[in-house]
Amino acid sequence: IDNDKVTTTWESLFVPNIITNSKKLPHLKPLTDHECLEAIEALGFGVNEYARKCGFNKFLVALSGGIDSCLVLTILKLHLTKTQNLEAIYMPSKFSGELSLIISKQLCQNLKIPFYILPIEDVKATCKSLFTKHLNQDLQGLADENIQSRLRSTLLLARANQTNAIAINTSNKSEIAVGYSTIYGDSVGAISLLGDFYKSEVYMLAQYINKAHHNIIPLEAIQRPPTAELRDNQKDTDSLPPYDILDVILEGILSYRFTAYQMIEMGLSAHHVLSVYKLYMNSEYKRSQFCPIIKIKPK
């Protein structure tokens, strides 16, 4: 048996090969104020119905000072009923900047909700010490970064368990599509509010809310460069193309069903297209374990 031929044959059966004849460059249409309002109302209705049917009346959010968690917290507050409660937990490490704390505190003051600070540095140090002692190897690199996210999820879910709350995921569609998250870390939650919105659209929704509610979300959360703050001076663009490029490529993959070759032919950067395709294909195992997403858009 020629194993190479057998492998090639089986691979051809399971590799997606959906091709469109469209030659129109993929694009993301800016959301109108009406579309933003409809989306925010739909998200509020969806999460409240989900919580009601599951028997919860309290929401819990891990607040980082980034735009995603700020938007999630704000949407929840805007749709909170008289019988529901909401609280935010900020879990800093030594890599968390002062601006993240300032934004988080200011948002909770604006929304008039409880704000708790739960540092993870001591817990992380204990984990690293145990890892080195019992496995004879230092915890470093990506594993050292990701354990921060997993410690946060453990503490968040412990608080949710203790207070009979439902933890709300804060990841967006861009991050989910390319696996830019830590599995069992920031990907946890009972339900995802922003999982059907690209990062570019997250900014649009936040800007609309600020226009309608007098800058209730601190402007610094919208203006700062996106960062996971898992290492010194980290930026999302260290690992991903800028979101205005990434989201266009993802729209080409997910909505237009373009092949990489088609998008490169249309003039998109071959480097960016191929890297995004690889990230998308390699992160299916993360998406298959992700929490339910409130679906808003047709594609």
Q: How much is the pLDDT for 298?
A: 82
Residues in Cβ contact with 173 at an 8 Å cutoff, skipping those fewer than 6 apart = 194, 195, 196, 197, 198, 199, 201, 250
Q: How much is the pLDDT for 281?
A: 96
The fraction of the chain above a pLDDT of 90, given in percent, is 89
**Average pLDDT for the chain:** 93
Task: Kindly tell me if the per-residue pLDDT of 18 is higher than 50.
Answer: no
Q: How much is the pLDDT for 16?
A: 52
Query: Homologous superfamily of 31-236+283-287 in CATH?
Result: HUPs (3.40.50.620)
Task: Kindly tell me if the per-residue pLDDT of 9 is higher than 80.
Answer: no
Query: Pairing relation of β-strands 115-117 and 85-90?
Result: parallel
Q: How much is the pLDDT for 28?
A: 86
Task: Kindly tell me if the per-residue pLDDT of 24 is higher than 90.
Answer: no
Counting every residue written for the chain, the total comes to 299
What is the three-class DSSP state of 240?
coil
Q: How much is the pLDDT for 134?
A: 98
- Averaged pLDDT for residues 94-119: 98
Phi, psi of 76 (to 5 degrees): -60, -45
Sheet holding 58-62, edge to edge: 115-117, 85-90, 58-62, 166-169, 191-192
Tens-digit pLDDT profile for residues 71-94: 999 999 999 999 999 999 999 999
Q: How much is the pLDDT for 27?
A: 79
- Token pair recorded at residue 285: 């195992």
Q: How much is the pLDDT for 6?
A: 45
Q: How much is the pLDDT for 26?
A: 77
Task: Kindly tell me if the per-residue pLDDT of 141 is higher than 90.
Answer: yes
Domain extent listing, the chain = 31-236+283-287
| pTM, two decimal places | 0.91
Tens-digit pLDDT profile for residues 210-240: 999 999 999 999 999 999 999 999 999 999 9
Confidence of residue 25 (pLDDT cuts 50, 70, 90): confident
Q: How much is the pLDDT for 23?
A: 64
- Averaged pLDDT for residues 107-130: 98
Q: How much is the pLDDT for 11?
A: 54
Task: Kindly tell me if the per-residue pLDDT of 161 is higher than 90.
Answer: yes
Helices and strands counted in the chain (H then E)? 13, 5
Tens-digit pLDDT profile for residues 176-213: 999 999 999 999 999 999 999 999 999 999 999 999 99
